[in-house]
Amino acid sequence: MAHTFRVEGIEPKDISLFRSLMTIAEGRLTSPWTFMAKGDCSDVVLIDIDAIGADGFQSLCRKLVGVIPVIYGKENTLNSHFYLSKPARPMELAKLLNELHVYLGRENGAASSDYVEAYRPEEHFVGILREAAAQRSVVWLKHSEYPIILVDGANKMVYTKTSQKIEMTTEWFLRLEAIDSHDVTIASVDQSKVEELIKANQLTAHSLEYMLWHVTTLSAKGALYHGVSAFQPVEITHWPNIEKIGREPYVTKLAAYMLCHKEDLVTVANKTQTPFTRVVDFYNACLILGYATHPAEHKEQSMQPLSRRIIPFLSRRRRADSHC
């Protein structure tokens, strides 16, 4: 299927430039593309942000319907996922158009869950932390090189020797991530000895949600949770606990948008002007903490026989009627 693109805000002389670029880039394209020098109907529009400014770009985007906006400029000032730098080069244009082809074809089954490397929490420290948090008693994560870590799943707290959050989420965590998770032992701690361990080792309490959120975003490094496609519509179902995970501006922005819009992550990145890897890290953390439901769970529920979905509803209805 052929796609089309046009450029907004460029001077007439630049039209010849894009025609030349397309001639050179054509051999590297994975699908046919047509550059439209005139007209306002196209699949993609490159917007010269240097010519119209950031406000002009956002104003124009609000008027676009069914068209993908791409920043074209010396710098990606709005951190848009789709961006072509100036001066435009054939290789970069071909790479951009090939990526856009995959995105445009997502509704026809062209999307792949392998758009980015799959993130598997069980292979990282977050997997150990989740397993420890599922225990009914306080547990000690033991390893010869580990700082002492106690996990109290019942009260959703983690006790460590680290008191500064910034240290815990960078150098401290990176040391944990480097350790083979298979060498870690989860040992139960007698409740009567918990306070003694905390005082003797001068441990500091941290929210379990805070720990899970940050170890997820640090370990995923932009890789998308396994079984999720970057091009399938997803949503979050709960507002993240900002007080516990930290007041990061991008968290508030993405949460506000994704609670109201069920869209694929590439679209979310583009419309919120948020780096794609940051959107992925945000969504991964939401899945880990239960702020979002894995798409596979929705699919499994929708594939249940109709009778299995109706019977629970009828049972609830009967219980409700019995109280009338």
Output the domain CATH number for residue 32: 3.40.50.2300
CA-based max dimension of the chain: 79
Q: Are residues 73 and 44 in the same domain?
A: yes
Residue 40 structure tokens: 């306002």
Name, in order, each residue with C-beta under 8 angstroms of 47's C-beta and a sequence gap of 6 or more.
Answer: 7, 8, 9, 57, 60, 61, 69, 70, 71, 72
Where a domain ends, among 213, 247, 272?
Answer: 213
DSSP-derived secondary structure letter, 182: G
pLDDT of residue 319: 40
Q: How far apart are CA 242 and CA 101, in angstroms?
A: 37
Whether residues 19 and 89 fall in one domain:
yes
Task: Report d(CA 121, CA 272) in Å as an integer.
Answer: 26
- Same domain assignment for residues 125 and 96: no
Report residue 171's pLDDT band, with 50, 70 and 90 as the boundaries. low
pLDDT at 116: 41
Tokens of 49: 């942000």
Higher per-residue pLDDT: 182 or 87:
87
Each residue's pLDDT tens digit, 214-245: 888 878 777 889 888 777 889 999 999 888 88
Task: Name residue, tokens 């507002």.
Answer: 239
In a domain, 258, yes or no: no
pLDDT at 108: 40
Residue 311 domain flag: no
| pLDDT for the residue numbered 264 | 85
Residue 266 lies in a domain: no
Q: How much of the chain, in percent, has pLDDT values that exceed 90?
A: 23
Alpha-carbon distance of 115 to 46, in angstroms, equals: 23
**pLDDT value, residue 170:** 62
User: Based on the domain organization, do 17 and 91 belong to the same domain?
Assistant: yes
Provide the angle, in degrees to the nearest 10, between the axes of the packed helices 276-289 and 249-260.
70
Question: Which pair of tokens denotes residue 114?
Answer: 């392998």
In the chain, the number of structural domains is 2
Domain boundary among 198, 213, 228: 213
Is-contact 151 158, C-beta < 8 A?
Answer: yes
Contacts by 84-87 with C-beta closer than 8 Å and gap 24+? 84/46, 86/50
Q: What is the mean pLDDT of residues 140-160?
A: 86
The residues with which 73 forms a beta bridge, in sequence order, are 85
* Residue 88 and residue 129 share a domain: no
Q: Quick check: is 60 in a domain?
A: yes
Check whether 107 has a pLDDT greater than 50.
no
- In the predicted model, what is the mean pLDDT of the chain? 79
185 — phi, psi (to 5°)? -110, 135
Which two tokens mark 157?
């707290």
Whether the per-residue pLDDT at 97 is higher than 50: the answer is yes
Residue 196 lies in domain: 121-213
Does residue 308 register a pLDDT over 70?
A: no
The residues, any chain, with a CB within 8 Å of residue 208's CB and separated by 6 or more, are 129, 133, 151, 152, 153, 156, 157, 158
Q: What is the mean pLDDT of residues 131-157?
A: 87
Residue 185 carries which DSSP code? E
Residue 140 has pLDDT above 80, yes or no: yes
Query: What's the whole-number mean pLDDT along residues 119-127?
Result: 86
Query: 87 and 134 share a domain?
Result: no
**Tokens describing residue 167:** 């240290």
The one-character DSSP state at 73 is E
> Do 75 and 157 sit in the same domain of this protein?
no
Last residue of a domain, one of 182, 213, 244: 213
209: in domain = yes
- Residue 157, domain member (yes or no): yes
Asked if 254 contacts 274 with a C-beta cutoff of 8 angstroms, the reply is yes
Structure confidence at residue 284 as a pLDDT band (50, 70, 90): very high
Closest CA to 193 of 155, 149, 138: 138
Pair 167, 199 in one domain: yes
pLDDT classification of 167: cutoffs 50, 70, 90: low
Give domain status of residue 181, yes or no.
yes
Given a contact cutoff of 8 angstroms between Cβ atoms, the answer to whether 212 and 285 are in contact is yes
pLDDT at position 113 over 50 = no
pLDDT attached to residue 73: 92
CA distance 70 to 46: 5
d(CA 303, CA 36) in angstroms, rounded, equals: 43
Note the pLDDT tens digit of each residue in 42-87.
888 899 999 999 888 877 877 776 678 889 999 988 777 788 999 9
Q: Which residue has the higher pLDDT, 180 or 209?
A: 209
Shared domain for 150 and 205, answered yes or no, is: yes
Question: Does the residue 265 lie in any domain?
Answer: no
Same domain for 98 and 127: no
Residue 125 shares a structural domain with residue 100: no
Encoded tokens for 242: 């900002």
- Lowest mean pLDDT: which of 195-199, 255-259, 314-318? 314-318
Structure tokens belonging to residue 153: 């799943």
Shared domain for 94 and 166, answered yes or no, is no
